[in-house]
A and B are shown apart, each in its own frame.
Chain A
Amino acid sequence: MNNGNGNKIANKFVVPIGPQHPALKEPEHFEFTVDGETVIDATARLGYAHRGIEKTAESRTFVQTLYMMERVCGICSHVHATAFSLCVEKLAEVEAPPRAQAIRVLVAELERIHSHLLWLGVGAHEAGFDALFMYSWRDREVVMDILEALTGNRVNYSANVLGGVKCDVTDAIRDQILTGIDYLEERTHHYYDVVTTDAAFLQRTRGVGTMTKEQAMRLGVVGPTARGSGVEQDLRVDAPYAAYDIFRVNRVVEQGGDLEARFIVRVKELFESYRIIREVLDNLPEGELTARMPRRIKEGEAITRVEAPRGELFYYVRSNGTDMPDRVKVRTPTIPNMASVLHLAIGHQLADVPMILAGIDPCFSCNDRSVRLKSAGGDDVWTWEKLRKYGIDYYND
């Protein structure tokens, strides 16, 4: 059970998972060395869905970049736009009006509901529990419809504009949200019962992929994965942004550290989201939706940290005084969580690996960025000519 450097792996039997594999919804490559059914080593190769978004941002205006940043992730698009907007607003020394900040929180929580329900289905599917998968995805449609009614889109909502939000909450939409939330809350009580009491399902989650608090701290995991291991960390509480200082969040922390705890944390966070949404709708501040933004952003640099459904999302933006960002850096929550998968998989059955992988709620295309090629050697900085030559040589071989 050592970490792949012992002599046990003389006769390697490697099970490749990905880049194309039914368990993965996005391309990523994992190699699990197994001894019978037991995993004795795990490696990952990231970068299949690298799209060069950070680089592209440098040749687009701030407004254009906002919409592109939404496309970093298809599931948590709003939180990316929020992080970028907050960052640019910080640079421009503009503050979005209170109503806009509250609507940002509203959409963020609706998005969290949709993301967690989606994850619940994926997690259940990996365990071969397709009934839960189908039902949770059916109920997810309710929140998708709400998001569509509110913003006009199901996936990339574009609720944010620099300096505020684009959509307002009318009475009709308010009623639709409240009705939808009531229905979802009732359903979520049922799902909570399933993940905590269903014997067949607990067989696959209880005691599987256990990560202690110390391990979680050492591996630097974030978000619900960390909170499932008893790490008290939630940026909505620790460093409130947007309107989270008005609408206080209660941190959901579980001590178990296993998959069951991760399921419980996420389902309990759903209840928390329902509560916050009701609170926001009851106390929505009156006023403008947008503040005036300058086209050229002052020179300087800024960072923001927000709590995406998967954990801490980090944005760094540097401006050189023009209407285009000089540098945008994104760190998505899947990167710190990915290390925990490779660590936890070792010693487990091969059958548990997809569950452990799904347990961190991975989002591969968010996490993909340019990688250093293994065999490249030489300098870290490559010129365009060198990269082009490398590509030509690679395909000529």
Chain B
Amino acid sequence: MTELNPIIALMFFPGGIFVMLLGLLYVWINRKLRARLQNRVGPRWFQPIADLFKLLSKEEIIPEDANPTLFVVLPVLALAGVLTAALYVPILGMKAVHSVPGDLIITVYLLSLVTMCIGLAGANSTGRFSLVGVTRTLTQLFSYEAPFLLALLSPAIMAGTWQISEIVDYAGGRWLMFTHPISFIIAIVALMGKLEMPPFDAPEAETEIVGGALTEYNGRGLALFKLSHAAEMVIGFALVTALFMGGTTNPLLWAVQTLVLLLVVTLIEVLMARMRIDQTVGLWWRYGSVLAIVQIIVLVVWQRIVL
């Protein structure tokens, strides 16, 4: 895939349009599955796309006290961050378009950019619900980010590199989720926190703070944030698949793998009540981080002694 024209890679495949459409498809599958599990009918397949176009066609209202430039730029920045991350992650089971030493860190931080943008956007829009939402979004960011990175660190340490493609080469088709089970579970659950899915949806708990940080957003800005979230979901799954589930394979297997991940995530989502933000932080720092570190120590010791 290194032969791809950079413009095509950025705009159409695997970045850009492709990731966005795939994200919307996954959002639909997630919504439909959740609806069926809750004994509801659920939306039709084009609902996320229809929502997107509806929002895009609406007038954008900027709050009086907000900085208008920031208000408009932040959603674009969030989407740009996610789409750039798509270039470093193997999508559809194919090699990543770009590969540089340390691209694992780059990817993780590009994904965090979405959350940071949402945080800034909420603080900028100065609504009361937004401000409470921002506090929660950022608190949650600081709680899941460390365990997430630690979880991705364990294959990286074993492979001795920060480059995703080299970790994939190290795995060589082996499913690292069996040798790194704790890291795998933590990575998935942290991904749910990243995507603000229930039970980690305290930052946008509608029964308390309406829409969280994005309460004041509407029209185009909201559409772009929703789109970045959708794309983030695909890239998050792709990252976990690449690191823990056999690396680069073929598109069909990749689709099955990510859909299984989506099913697992949706099941957790349906089965749990929302956690309070203090409970979320407690969970991550008390159990998540500690377990991730234990996993790394065990692997390192095992590698030193056995190999």
Give A residues with C-beta under 8 Å from B: 13-16, 21-23, 34, 36-37, 124-132, 134-135, 138, 198, 200-201, 203-204, 349-354
Is A352 in contact with B276, judged by CB distance below 8 angstroms?
Answer: yes
Does B272 lie at the interface of the complex (its beta carbon under 8 Å from any beta carbon of A)? yes
Question: Using Cβ atoms and an 8 Å threshold, which residues of chain A touch B162?
Answer: none
The distance from the CB of B288 to the nearest CB of chain A, in whole angstroms, is: 16
Is A37 in contact with B277, judged by CB distance below 8 angstroms?
Answer: yes
In the complex, per-residue mask of B190-216: 1 if CB is within 8 Å of any chain A CB, else 0: 000000001101100111111000000
Question: Using Cβ atoms and an 8 Å threshold, which residues of chain A touch B98?
Answer: none
Alpha-carbon gap, A201 to B274, bound state (A): 8
In the complex, per-residue mask of B25-59: 1 if CB is within 8 Å of any chain A CB, else 0: 00000000000011110000000000000000000
Which B residue's beta carbon lies closest to that of A130?
B38
Does B278 lie at the interface of the complex (its beta carbon under 8 Å from any beta carbon of A)? yes
The distance from the CB of B218 to the nearest CB of chain A, in whole angstroms, is: 16
Contact of A200 among B37, B207, B271, B278 (CB under 8 A): B271
Contact of A131 among B206, B207, B271 (CB under 8 A): B271
Alpha-carbon gap, A136 to B269, bound state (A): 18
User: Which B164-206 residues sit within 8 Å CB-CB of chain A?
Assistant: 198-199, 201-202, 205-206
Chain B residues touching A, range = 20 to 34
Residue of A127, A138, A353 with highest tally of chain B CB at under 10 A: A127
Which B residue's beta carbon lies closest to that of A16?
B128
Is B37 in contact with A131, judged by CB distance below 8 angstroms?
Answer: yes
Is A23 in contact with B207, judged by CB distance below 8 angstroms?
Answer: yes
For the A-B complex, the count of residue pairs with Cβ-Cβ distances under 8 Å equals 81
Which A residue's beta carbon lies closest to that of B131?
A13
The distance from the CB of A21 to the nearest CB of chain B, in whole angstroms, is: 7
The distance from the CB of A63 to the nearest CB of chain B, in whole angstroms, is: 41
Is B38 in contact with A200, judged by CB distance below 8 angstroms?
Answer: no
Is B207 in contact with A125, judged by CB distance below 8 angstroms?
Answer: yes
Alpha-carbon gap, A132 to B198, bound state (A): 14
Is B274 in contact with A127, judged by CB distance below 8 angstroms?
Answer: yes
Does B291 lie at the interface of the complex (its beta carbon under 8 Å from any beta carbon of A)? no
Q: Beyond A125-B207, A134-B38, is A37–B278 a contact (Cβ under 8 Å)? A: yes
If over half of B's interface residues share one DSSP class (helix, strand or loop), that class is named, otherwise mixed; here it is: helix
If over half of A's interface residues share one DSSP class (helix, strand or loop), that class is named, otherwise mixed; here it is: helix
Alpha-carbon gap, A127 to B201, bound state (A): 11
6 of the cross-chain contacts (CB-CB < 8 Å) are A37-B277, A131-B37, A131-B270, A203-B276, A349-B278, A351-B276
The distance from the CB of B60 to the nearest CB of chain A, in whole angstroms, is: 21
Question: Using Cβ atoms and an 8 Å threshold, which residues of chain B touch A128?
Answer: 198-199, 201, 205, 207, 273-274
Is A204 in contact with B202, judged by CB distance below 8 angstroms?
Answer: no
Alpha-carbon gap, A355 to B207, bound state (A): 9
Question: Using Cβ atoms and an 8 Å threshold, which residues of chain A touch B279?
Answer: 203
Does B293 lie at the interface of the complex (its beta carbon under 8 Å from any beta carbon of A)? no
Alpha-carbon gap, A203 to B278, bound state (A): 11
Is B208 in contact with A351, judged by CB distance below 8 angstroms?
Answer: yes
Is A126 in contact with B207, judged by CB distance below 8 angstroms?
Answer: yes
Question: Using Cβ atoms and an 8 Å threshold, which residues of chain B touch A131?
Answer: 37-38, 270-271
Question: Using Cβ atoms and an 8 Å threshold, which residues of chain B touch A15?
Answer: 128-129, 132, 209
Does B275 lie at the interface of the complex (its beta carbon under 8 Å from any beta carbon of A)? yes
Question: Using Cβ atoms and an 8 Å threshold, which residues of chain A touch B272?
Answer: 129, 200
Question: Using Cβ atoms and an 8 Å threshold, which residues of chain A touch B198?
Answer: 128, 130
Contact of A22 among B132, B202, B206 (CB under 8 A): B206
Which B residue's beta carbon lies closest to that of A139?
B39
Is A129 in contact with B205, judged by CB distance below 8 angstroms?
Answer: no
The distance from the CB of B142 to the nearest CB of chain A, in whole angstroms, is: 15
Is A23 in contact with B37, judged by CB distance below 8 angstroms?
Answer: no
The distance from the CB of B241 to the nearest CB of chain A, in whole angstroms, is: 27
Is A129 in contact with B274, judged by CB distance below 8 angstroms?
Answer: yes
Contact of B273 among A13, A21, A36, A203 (CB under 8 A): A203
Residue of B128, B198, B272 with highest tally of chain A CB at under 10 A: B272
Alpha-carbon gap, A190 to B199, bound state (A): 21
Question: Using Cβ atoms and an 8 Å threshold, which residues of chain A touch B40?
Answer: 134
